[in-house]
Amino acid sequence: MPVRTRVTVPLEFADGYQTTAEVITFTGLADGKEHLALALGSCADGDVPLVRMHSECMTGDVFGSQRCDCGPQLREAVERIATTGGYLLYLRQEGRGIGLYAKLDAYALQDLGMDTYEANRALGHGDDERDYTAAAQMLDALGARSIDLLTNNPDKSSQLRDLGVEVRSVRPTGVHASAANVRYLQAKVSHTQHTIDLGVGVGLASAS
Ligand SMILES: Nc1nc2c(ncn2[C@@H]2O[C@H](COP(=O)(O)OP(=O)(O)OP(=O)(O)O)[C@@H](O)[C@H]2O)c(=O)[nH]1
Ligand SMILES: [Zn+2]
């Protein structure tokens, strides 16, 4: 699974944080999507890279939506990986794999009282349609056979291990709770066993 292009991109976030990423593209990924890898920090030969598999969320990543925790998780991941050395895989799996329009349909159903998983099912989708085969191919192309994985989602480490990636450790992300997303985070904890400690959530007090 060859790397197609590597290009250096200087990054500056809204809060002024700056770093440099090597943005990497691939050919022949299993699902034919244009997934990106960002190499951040420095990883010497033999070091185990810190990896985040970030699923695309246009509303959260681009527009700063408060309905989810994607924007702050992305910002956190870039800095942690730049400090440690590793890869951010930006996966084109909008809406947990159901697509942007369907995610917004699901938001409309959540506004009528469904939780995030019930809304997916009401639309005829699975709870989570993401498959990490392409991510495993990207890691293989990068020579990352053993990784430390930044996630609260047990399905990500489980799928990667089944795909032959050695996940040496799983590191939780910070808790980015707010009044607007706490119900969504609670659903992730109760339904898919995410390791999010909502008792210590940043901003949780304002949600109660
Ligand atoms: N269908 C649907 N997708 C959502 C909703 N809220 C967020 N998403 C999508 O969920 C994905 C976010 O996934 P991740 O940031 O990987 O979060 P996660 O699976 O909880 O795992 P970690 O953050 O690694 O713990 C993005 O693709 C979002 O677009 C929702 O209410 N419905
Ligand atoms: Zn989001």
pLDDT at 201 > cutoff 90:
no
pLDDT at 206 > cutoff 50:
no
Q: Which 3 state secondary structure label does DSSP give 126?
A: coil
| Domain-located, residue 118 | no
| Domain-located, residue 182 | yes
Number of structural domains found in the chain: 1
How many Å lie between the centroid of ligand 2 and the Cα of residue 21? 22
Reported as a single tens digit per residue, the pLDDT across 59-90 is 999 999 999 999 999 999 999 999 999 999 99
Q: Tell me what the pLDDT averaged over the chain comes to.
A: 91
Question: What is the pLDDT at residue 196?
Answer: 61
Helix/strand/coil percent split, the chain, to 5 = 40, 25, 40
Phi-psi label, residue 86: left if phi above 0, alpha if psi -120 to 50, beta otherwise: left
Question: What is the pLDDT at residue 202?
Answer: 45
Question: What is the pLDDT at residue 203?
Answer: 41
pLDDT at 189 > cutoff 90:
no
- pTM (predicted TM-score): 0.91
| Domain-located, residue 12 | yes
| Domain-located, residue 64 | yes
| Domain-located, residue 185 | yes
Task: Judge whether 186 and 201 are in contact, CB under 8 Å.
Answer: no
Strand segments (E) across the chain:
3-12, 18-26, 36-40, 50-55, 86-91, 146-150, 166-171
Which residues are known catalytic residues?
128, 130
- Following DSSP, what letter does each residue of 61-95 receive, concatenated? IIT--SSSSHHHHHHHHHHHHHHH-EEEEEE--GG
With a pLDDT cut of 90, the percent of the chain lying above it is: 81
Measured from the CB, is residue 105 less than 6 Å from ligand 1? no
Q: Which ligand is nearest to the CA of 184?
A: 1
Measured from the CB, is residue 103 less than 6 Å from ligand 1? yes
Residues facing 51 on adjacent strands: 87, 149
Q: Give ipTM to 2 decimals.
A: 0.95
Quote the domain boundaries for residue 184.
3-93+130-200
Q: Which ligand is nearest to the CA of 107?
A: 1
User: For 5, which DSSP code?
Assistant: E
In terms of Cα–Cα distance, which of 18, 22, 74 is closest to 43? 22
Measured from the CB, is residue 151 less than 6 Å from ligand 1? yes
Q: Which residues, at least 6 apart from 93, have a Cβ–Cβ distance to it below 8 Å?
A: 55, 56, 129, 130
Residue 171 is part of a domain; what is its CATH number?
3.40.50.10990
